């Protein structure tokens, strides 16, 4: 399941779906299918700007589409937000999905994975903050020692 957040779209697929989307956009009639497929590729990009664009397209679809596509949009909105480390928003989308389909194992696993990433990065943040405090204390001690020498 962890690879769902690490999966990266191939550049060929991204270009293919981008071309279809842009052709339809130029004609002024983008189908939901074309927009979804392009957004689906974007949220799996290695670049956060692409992921954000995919999220915008999915949110737009979510607002305008009928109920049948909403579950897919919620799922990929959760993935996109998790990939750009917007974990709280990702969890909101997961929970919205689980309100529709509470027993969906795939989405339950995604929720667990997002929570694990939040914990891991929270601990990493604490470790960096702790390291900063230790360095500051060491520099302060060094400064005091230099003052005593004079």
Residue showing tokens 């689980």: 98
Buried b (16+ CB within 10 A) or exposed e, 111-126: bebbeebbeeeeeeee
Domains in the chain: boundaries: 3-116
* Residues 95-134 pLDDT 10s: 999 998 999 999 999 999 999 999 988 865 554 555 555 6
Q: Give the angle subtended at the CA of 98 by the CAs of 96 and 103, to the nearest 5°.
A: 175
Q: What confidence category does residue 139 fall into, taking pLDDT thresholds of 50, 70 and 90?
A: low
What is the reported pLDDT for 46? Answer: 95
pLDDT per position as a tens digit, 72-85: 999 999 999 999 99
* pLDDT mean across residues, the chain: 86
Look up residue 37 and give its two tokens: 């497929």
Domain boundaries 3-116, CATH class: mainly alpha
CA distance 115 to 83: 13
Q: What is the pLDDT of residue 137?
A: 57
CA–CA separation, 14 and 10 (whole Å): 6
């Amino acid at each position: 399941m962890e690879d769902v957040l690490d999966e990266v779209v191939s550049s060929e697929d991204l270009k293919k779906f981008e071309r279809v989307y842009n052709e339809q956009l130029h004609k002024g009639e983008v189908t939901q299918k074309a927009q979804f497929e392009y957004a689906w590729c974007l949220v799996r990009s290695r670049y956060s700007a692409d992921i954000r664009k995919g999220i915008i397209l999915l949110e737009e679809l979510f607002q305008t589409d009928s109920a049948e596509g909403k579950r897919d949009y919620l799922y990929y909105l959760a993935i996109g937000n998790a990939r750009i480390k917007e974990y709280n928003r990702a969890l909101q989308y997961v929970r919205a999905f689980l309100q529709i389909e509470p027993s969906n194992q795939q989405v339950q696993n995604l929720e667990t994975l997002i929570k694990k990433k939040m914990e891991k990065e929270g601990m990493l943040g604490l470790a960096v903050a702790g390291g900063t405090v230790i360095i500051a204390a060491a520099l302060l001690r060094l400064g005091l020692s230099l003052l005593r020498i004079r």
